[in-house]
A and B are shown apart, each in its own frame.
Chain A
């Protein structure tokens, strides 16, 4: 479970303080698929980065399965990221000098013991890249690179997967394929999936939709048994 308690994030720009997040509080139960949406500059990627421990909040608390990650030392934070979170970026972020297989293997080598090679091969097979394992990123198309990135995010079986516009750089068929893979993982393995997107259609497939505007949550829609949307609060969390 992810718990966010009154998180604020600002950056100092000369003498001016730019507030990016203005007091965010929310709870994401294990296994939920949450879509974070909002206009450019609303703070959604910053929020995702904080949830993933890629940055620390200026104030407030973030708890991941009972662990406070907002004040962890860097080494401990690295361990949390490595074991608990798989991250998928809009621009893939593969290491250009490593092959597809080596890229997928990397989190395993960083965080787990034993040989993850079979797991890496199997995952690449599952994302349809069994024949492209020894290729370097530069030899792969955008869609293929994003599928390698997905396999990399899944390789240590993290309980949480976070994705920042994972389909943003892809055409519709590749985007659909990537989204299907993410959803299958969420459904089959019960991983928590937190996804930032601009795409209304992608957001509509989520269990819960959080809308950000100017650094505040302006809408938080929870799923209902009947399939109707239930607005948990309008600005209660903002």
Chain B
């Protein structure tokens, strides 16, 4: 007779009633799944919305249909060619947007501030989108006459107000409004200071755009609807061969790439939280099945087989996973809405958030799949339940010894096989999330190893604690002893809690320690002779004056080092034109827009690697930096043709040099004899080391004498770097926090699943005369020691990981006692708080209430 299996609906009904019997316990299981799903949906949903914004608002984000950026002023010839392009397509409009850095002050206060300056033609700019100003007005109104608009940060840092004057170069402007948002903000890059916008007409009068200036010049074009964009693009590329040309359809490739990379990394961080949650669910299901042994045995005794039981608990797990997934999706949308605040200034675009359906489905699917995969091994244990349990609770125990150990594992070979499948699936999920098979594989492998090591370490830690406790237990105060002994309560998932909480602590602390060590390295290991003040955009006319200024400047600890830079273009290398060299992946933009310098002696700090430096300042030779020479395949004797201004120079490479990276010269890789370049318009860059206490007064004096020279203070740069690094690590720490949350949910679920045991313990203690405080002390010891141990595991691993990573970066490692203490105490406090939240009502129970339920 064919055997009838338990129907799916009957299995679902049994599973549902079983779930209803312990809603508190399963609530935390659902939350364990929800935590990971929320993090993943939040990150990927935000990324999806961000990409959507990039696509939908592409024209506004570029402020035009086509843009071409060069780092020099366009020549008359180029302007003529561009005008030709425009003429061919009636209805085409174009405008140039200039972006540079400069010094600005608010008179009469002489303190200058480094700002990011943008000059536009407000009659044209922007073609799409609009600049938001406060008070509300058009850009054309705001920039009429000698007016400027500035970012909030400018007003705050210089204590200025709308209506005040600001000084830029040699000219005063009235602050007409606050610049709240500009459509093409992301095209401007990170910038070095608060943003200031003026009209192009007014820029000329500031004297900031000297001949040879390396300021960014961006051509914006608006094309009529029927224009052939690809054809126009080709014509613009031909007119400006060294330009970076983009049309709005390709968006911002660098930003898209950055977004993809960030999404991949952040998704993997979320996956850690999700896997920890899934492990928690698996542990909870294992504990649940142990508590349901009687029910399982009864079902088997009345004819159910393992497949029937598996069906009940599989449905139960799927139900919990689905519920957790739904809750996670809802919370994930909340995370997505919170992320712009977490990302802070890192985002150049105001993201329009919507329901990210793809991410919702991906999060839900990943959550469900991960939960199911991790729960399969414990669920398969139902096969081992023996119906004889109905008759007697104690069945014969398996023999001990190595043979028996192997036999036990052999009996669990299916679970082991599934464990391998789980790791493979984890790799697959990581692959899908990171879009890289290699990253996915490494993630699965390293994460599995880390988890196994963490679990082993946690188990060993608990064993050691028990060993020590057994040696001294009667000497310890009663509540402490009892609390510590409770860590080994049957059904407690202490090792899993330690591993999961420890993973979260490890991730957050490792990121913090890495951040601290990197910034410490930058700040404290800088040589006192390295420049701490940089000069930008010094014209040839100003060079002597500037030299003299610094000679008389107090507090100079290293003399001013000035470097001329002349714009040039490589025509051929070793007899081959750039077009002929196309296949060799040469840095074409660098060659078409080459920065050249001149020196008749080897510059300070550089070392001659090959050949010899010229003695005749008119020799047709040049020197190339070692790294660049290797990249371009140049050596001593190589032939090079350069176009500088209207001239063509045929040169031989006479020397290869090695820059030390500590002088301004390091920014230029091509040195020529002075006779070949000194009559060309040059921009000079400088570096000096000034006593930090004297920097502010030096800046004030220099700005008064040379208002068009930009000064970059290394301390300000460091502040900028710190703020960006802070912001990035904050995002990572925010997401790593979900792992901590997953760990806490596992702890809560473990406590809730042993709730009856704990209730009985509390009432037995009460029966024996214990007060509430005594019970509070005992349980608090248990929770806080668990947190402390998890903190210890996390702290140990974080320091180990940081040490290894820093060693690879050749950065010294320092133990951070304060961070370690905060991590330990914080984890203990969190664990104690979570423990008590999960143990609600236990203290108020009356003994007879519980004892009668037995």
Contacts and interface: CB of A to CB of B under 8 A. Distances in A.
A96 B490 contact: yes
Interface in B714-771: 757, 760-761, 763-771
* Majority secondary structure of chain A interface residues (helix, strand, loop or mixed): helix
B767 A87 contact: yes
A230 to B, nearest CB: 32
B2 interface: no
A93 B848 contact: no
B774 interface: yes
B772 interface: yes
B764 A97 contact: no
Given A54-B851, A106-B478, A81 B768 contact: yes
B488 interface: yes
Contacts of A105: 478
A98 B469 CA distance: 11
B848 A54 contact: yes
A109 B482 CA distance: 11
Contact of A82 (B482, B769, B848): B769
B428 interface: no
A110 B769 contact: yes
A78 B847 CA distance: 11
The 9 closest A-B CB pairs, nearest first, are A82-B769, A55-B848, A109-B478, A49-B848, A54-B847, A97-B485, A54-B848, A111-B769, A107-B768
Contact of B769 (A78, A89, A94): A78
A117 interface: yes
Contacts of A55: 846-849
A102 interface: yes
Contacts of A94: 764
Contacts of A83: 769
B474 interface: yes
Contacts of A96: 489-490, 757, 761
A56 B488 CA distance: 34
A78 B474 CA distance: 24
A154 B757 CA distance: 24
Contacts of B482: 95, 97-98, 102, 106
Interface in A57-116: 74-75, 78-79, 81-83, 87, 89, 91, 93-98, 101-102, 105-107, 109-111
B681 to A, nearest CB: 84
Contacts of A56: 846
A20 B778 CA distance: 34
A209 interface: no
A191 to B, nearest CB: 16
Interface in B488-502: 488-490
B486 interface: yes
Given A49-B848, A79-B769, A110-B774, 4 more contacts: A49-B847, A55-B848, A91-B854, A110-B478
Interface in A177-191: none
Contacts of A147: none
A52 B767 contact: yes
Contacts of A102: 473-474, 481-482, 485
A111 B766 CA distance: 11
Nearest to A76: B771
A75 B766 CA distance: 10
Most chain A beta carbons < 10 A, residue from B766, B767, B770: B767
A110 B847 contact: no
A54 B760 CA distance: 13
Interface in A24-60: 45-46, 49-50, 52, 54-56
Interface size classification for chain A: 35 or more
A117 B474 contact: yes
Given A49-B851, A89-B851, A91-B854, A82 B481 contact: no
B291 to A, nearest CB: 14
B761 to A, nearest CB: 6
Best-buried of A45, A81, A110 by chain B (most CB within 10 Å): A110
Contacts of B851: 49, 54, 89, 93
B852 interface: yes
A87 B768 CA distance: 8
A54 B846 contact: yes
A97 B769 contact: no
B852 A97 contact: no
Contact of B766 (A81, A109, A138): A81
A87 B766 CA distance: 11
B772 A95 contact: no
Nearest to A86: B768
A152 B768 contact: yes
B493 to A, nearest CB: 15
Contacts of A49: 847-848, 851-852
A55 B849 CA distance: 8
A81 B852 contact: no
B290 to A, nearest CB: 14
A101 B482 CA distance: 13
13 contacts: A46-B852, A78-B771, A81-B766, A87-B767, A95-B482, A95-B764, A96-B761, A97-B485, A97-B488, A101-B474, A102-B474, A109-B478, A110-B768
A49 B849 CA distance: 10
A74 B708 CA distance: 81
Contact of B489 (A75, A97, A152): A97
B788 to A, nearest CB: 18
B829 to A, nearest CB: 24
A172 to B, nearest CB: 18
Contacts of B774: 110
Contacts of A106: 478, 482, 765, 768
A97 B490 CA distance: 8
Nearest to B772: A74
A46 B478 contact: no
A97 B765 CA distance: 13
Contacts of A110: 478, 765, 768-770, 774
